[in-house]
Structures are given as C-alpha cells and as structure tokens.
Amino acid sequence: MAESEAETPSTPGEFESKYFEFHGVRLPPFCRGKMEEIANFPVRPSDVWIVTYPKSGTSLLQEVVYLVSQGADPDEIGLMNIDEQLPVLEYPQPGLDIIKELTSPRLIKSHLPYRFLPSDLHNGDSKVIYMARNPKDLVVSYYQFHRSLRTMSYRGTFQEFCRRFMNDKLGYGSWFEHVQEFWEHHMDSNVLFLKYEDMHRDLVAMVEQLARFLGVSCDKAQLESLVEHCHQLVDQCCNAEALPVGRGTCRPAPRAPAPSLPASSRFPGPILPLPGPESGFSLISPEPSVPQGERKKATQERATEDPGSPCCSQPVTLHRVQSSRWGGCWRGSVSGSLGKRFSGRHLLRRPPAWQWVWGCGVEEHRACTQLPRAPAGSRGLCEQGRLPLFPRGGSHTGEVQRIPGKGCVCVSVVYVLCVYVRGVCAHTGCVCVCTHVRE
Ligand SMILES: Nc1ncnc2c1ncn2[C@@H]1O[C@H](COP(=O)(O)O)[C@@H](OP(=O)(O)O)[C@H]1O
Ligand SMILES: CCc1ccc(OS(=O)(=O)O)cc1
C-alpha cells in the first residue's frame, strides 16, 4: 500500500475535495464565490496590503508593519490580536463588506496570488508588501499547519505533502508561481518585496526599508527604538531553526511530526451550535503581573523543568484571568492571537479584545461539554486547536449576536487554550466561556 493511503484516514480524494479550483489554482473553500468581488474590490491609496504565501511569517510581518506604520508599542501589540488590525481579504470574517467600510489607513492581508488580487492593486493604487520565505522551511510549516488544522485533518506523510507542494496541489496554489509573479513586480513603485530570512538576518535594514516604503520619517533615535521593538516581536518567535545560532531564547529542538493522539482526546467532529447567551463567570484571581525582565527567566525555568517540551520563548505558565475582561468580538468575528503572558493589571487597564491567555481555570460549564476539556492548568499533547481563520491562538467557537444600538455581544464563546510550540498546539490549557459587549 502506498504510504499516503496507509497514513491518510481522510483519503487523498477527500483532502482534494476540500479545495476548489479557480483558473487552475487550488484555493481554500472560503474563497469560493467571492473571487470576482475580490477582483473588483475598491482599493484606497492609503491602504497597505501584506501579501504572502501561507506560512511565510505573515504574522510577524504584520506586527512589524503595524509597529512601524503606527509607531505602536510592542506590548500593545502583544495585547491585541494583530488580525484585528489586518483583516484577511478572502476570509469569511470579517468579510469584504466590512473591510470596505474600515476607516483609513487600512492594513489588509491576503494570501492570494498577484493576479487574483484587486485589479486596483495592479494599477499601483496602494502599497503592497510581499514577503517570501525559503520553501524548505515553509513546506515544513505548512505541513504542520495542515496536520493541526481540524478542517483539513491532513494525515499524509511529509513526503506526500512535499509532493503536493511540488505539484502545486495545496491551498493557494503553486508557491513557485506565487513568488515568481510578485518578483516580476518587485520593481513596481507600489510593491516592496521582502524575504523572511532577511528579517532575522538584518532587522535594522528591513525596518529602515519598511519605514522608507511606508513614508514614515524617523530620526536615528526613533529608528533605534523601532528596531528594538521589532526585535522584541521577532524574539517571540517559536521557530528556533529560523533564528541564527545564538539569538533568541529558544533552544533548538528537532521538528518531529505531531504525535497521534488517542481518539478520545481528539476534538469531536463539527462543533455544534452552542447554547447561549451566557452570563460570564466569576473572577478567578489574576496572578500578579510579571515584569518584562522576569519573562526570560520564567521561560528558562520552564524549559528546565519541562525537558520534554520543545523550547518556546512564550512563557507557558498558565494564568488565571477573569475572562469577561478579555473576551470580545469584532463585528461578527471572534478571534484570538498567540497571546503574550499578560497581567491582571493589563486587564484592568485596557481590556483587550480577542486576546488568548493561557488557561482560565474554568472547567464546569455546559457549553464546554462540546469540546474536550483539560483540567485547569493541565498540560497535554494535542494536535488540534488550529482553525484556518485563527491559526495562532487555539481553537474557538461561539455565537455572536448583534444587539441593535449596542453593537455585538459574544455569547457562549468557547476557547480551547493552547500553547503553540513550533506551530503545533502542544499544551492545552482549558476551556472558558465569555460574554462581552462591545459598544
Ligand atoms: N514573532 C513571530 N510570530 C509569529 N510567527 C513567527 C514569528 N517569528 C517567526 N514566525 C514563524 O512564522 C511562521 C508562520 O507563518 P505565518 O504567520 O505566515 O502563518 C511560523 O513558522 P514555523 O511553523 O516554521 O515555526 C512561525 O514560527
Ligand atoms: C489550508 C488552506 C489555508 C487556510 C488558511 C490559511 O491562512 S493562514 O495562513 O492561517 O492565515 C492558509 C491556508
């Protein structure tokens, strides 16, 4: 039996059927039916577009661009979901109608090939930042992503996945054409072509390049501070291999395929609609805040006490927070991002919406029964937890209701908190439910 057949419970045919073809390019299912609207999407001169083939370090680029363009504080970025600032053009949430209404300057992300992007972009009407990554690393990252993606449930071998990659049989089509097409436009005045590896090799040069491209004027001191802040963002990286030897807090660890789990610990099939609305739940005492300087120490201690876990500069200590302070929604979408450890003080000062935190300690809730739970603070291996929309934070499901005159209320939002290690959800936290009204 061929290895792909032996190791792919969801058959190759089933896997294929998850995509659809558009002008010969394999696209994820959520792109279906909107490609024409995307082609005609109205672009503004003030827009900044970030375009990549998936797993090219998009999130990191988003954060750096946000920081350079908005002069934001990296701690603020850690407290927000960067996807809130950069909606993805082709995703179901927030959707094209909402992106059209966003106030300027908009930051918009897409993985679509150049030729499928809004035609206004081809006319040079707004700035496009493209980032390419070494395909050898990218394909490993994409493989891990497919394995952890519940909707894809990829169970083939890496070898088989590589064959798909080489034969342009993955979502967003051919990496080769993707990069080639953008490279053909790298001299266009509205296009900046970057490489992921350069970000690690020479961040100063990249920040300078970005600042010039975005028309951000800064003196030497401001530039140094920007670079320092960008370093902080890069250092949050979990990919030890991507870092030059000796940099960052990560210990290199061999990348192993995610181990299979017993069926009982897997997420059940489609997540059922949740009962709602819920009224939030009681405060679980926040832990004291951890000063910035202590973080590295905490991470190192964690690495020492947990030799089985690949390194990660994200602290993996489970925190207890009052979830109603951090839950939120964004005009119909709820999402999370790989959250930094944050403190009760932060929560009180500025309740960040869409923030994932490690562990909430809530175990008993009827809504939680629809997802497997881990006891508060427990840690265990799990392969799932990534959804295509929110690949960085864990798994979520929930309902969002619009209340006339009040905005959105998230009801029954269930979060499975995961600590990602090298792109794979390695530690589950627990499940919690939040209710939060956003005016
Ligand atoms: N600061 C950072 N935040 C998030 N991802 C980062 C990062 N620095 C590097 N990356 C890497 O970017 C890749 C994900 O890309 P994308 O954001 O396009 O999905 C991951 O690669 P690996 O899976 O090889 O670790 C991730 O580790
Ligand atoms: C598997 C197809 C797919 C789905 C979603 C993606 O977006 S992201 O890279 O996680 O932002 C990429 C590929």
Q: What is the pLDDT of residues 344-375, one digit of tens each?
A: 222 222 222 222 332 222 222 222 222 233 33
* C-beta 152 within 6 A of ligand 2: yes
Going through 81-236 in order, the beta strands assigned E by DSSP cover 107-110, 127-132, 191-195
Question: Is the distance from CB of 414 to CB of 408 less than 8 angstroms?
Answer: no
Atom of ligand 2 nearest to the CA of 30: 4
Is residue 153 pLDDT above 80, yes or no? no
Dist. CA 56 → ligand 1 center (Å): 7
Test site for ligand 1: of 55, 91, 110, 231, most ligand atoms within 8 A of the Cβ: 55
Nearest of 65, 91, 85 to residue 390 by alpha carbon: 91
The per-residue pLDDT for 129 is 98
Report percent pLDDT > 70 for the chain.
47
Question: Which atom of ligand 1 is nearest the CA belonging to 138?
Answer: 24
* Confidence tier at 67 by pLDDT (50, 70, 90): confident
Nearest CA to ligand 1 atom 8: 237
Report pLDDT for 342. 27
Strands in 160-308 per DSSP E: 191-195
Residue position matching structure tokens 């995610």: 258
- Number of the ligand closest to the Cα of 203: 1
Phi, psi of 180 (to 5 degrees): -60, -45
User: Using CA atoms, how far apart are residues 163 and 408, in angstroms rounded to an integer?
Assistant: 44
Is the pLDDT reported for residue 377 higher than 80? no
Quick: pLDDT tens for 208-264.
999 999 999 888 888 888 888 888 777 765 333 332 222 222 222 223 332 222 222
**At residue 430, does pLDDT exceed 70?**
no
Q: Which two tokens stand for residue 431?
A: 């499940």
Pocket of ligand 1 from Cβ distances under 6 Å: 52, 54-60, 137, 141, 144, 233-234, 236-239, 242, 391, 422-423
Ligand 1 centroid from CA 2, angstroms: 32
For the stretch 164-215, pLDDT in tens is: 999 999 999 999 999 999 999 999 999 999 999 999 889 999 999 999 999 9
Task: Report whether residue 87 contacts ligand 2, using a CB cutoff of 6 Å.
Answer: no
Question: Kind and range of the H or E element at 412?
Answer: strand 407-421
What is the DSSP code (8-state) at residue 405? T
Counting ligands in written order, the one closest to the CA of 62 is: 1
Distances (CA, A) of 288 to 96, 294, 347: 41, 12, 11
Q: Could you tell me which residues come within 8 angstroms of residue 28 by beta carbon, excluding any fewer than 6 positions away?
A: 18, 19, 90, 171, 172, 388
Per DSSP, the residues of 368-409 read: GGGS----TT-----S--B-SS-TTTEEEEEEEEEETTTEEE
Distance of CA 414 to the CA centre of its chain: 18
251 closest CA partner among 203, 198, 306: 306
Angle between helices 203-214 and 58-70 (to 10 degrees): 60
Which of 112, 119, 90 is closest to 174 using CA atoms?
112
In the chain, pLDDT over 90 holds for what percent of residues?
A: 29
* Closest ligand (CA of 258): 1
Q: Residues for the chain: how many in total? A: 439
ipTM score assigned to the predicted complex: 0.97
Query: 83, 141, 236, 425: which to mutate for ligand 1, most atoms within 8 A of CB?
Result: 141
How high does pLDDT run on average in the chain? 60
Question: How many whole angstroms separate alpha carbon 328 and alpha carbon 6?
Answer: 43
Q: Can 178 be counted among the known catalytic residues?
A: no
pLDDT value of residue 34: 96
At residue 77, the pLDDT reads 59
Tell me the pLDDT band of 293, cut-offs 50, 70 and 90.
Answer: very low
What is the model's pLDDT at position 389? 25
Return the beta strands (E) in 260-406 as ranges. Answer: 394-403
Residues β-bridged to residue 432: 415
Q: Residue 371 Cα, ligand 2 centroid: separation in angstroms?
A: 22
94 close to ligand 2 (CB < 6 Angstrom): no
Phi, psi of 126 (to 5 degrees): -155, 170
Residue with more model confidence, 225 or 267 = 225
- Within a 10 A sphere around the Cβ of 262, how many other Cβ atoms? 6
Alpha-carbon distance of 83 to 87, in angstroms, equals: 6
DSSP states of 332-377 as a string? TB---B-PPP--HHHHHH---TTB--S-------GGGGGS----TT
Asked if residue 28 has its Cβ within 6 Å of ligand 2, the reply is yes
- Nearest by Cα to 63 from 339, 310, 289, 325: 339
Secondary structure class of 137 (helix, strand, coil): helix
Would you state the structure tokens that stand for residue 265, as one six-digit string?
């610990």
92: left (phi over 0), alpha (psi -120 to 50) or beta: alpha
Atom 4 (ligand 2): residue with closest C-alpha? 388
Beta-ladder partners of 400? 410
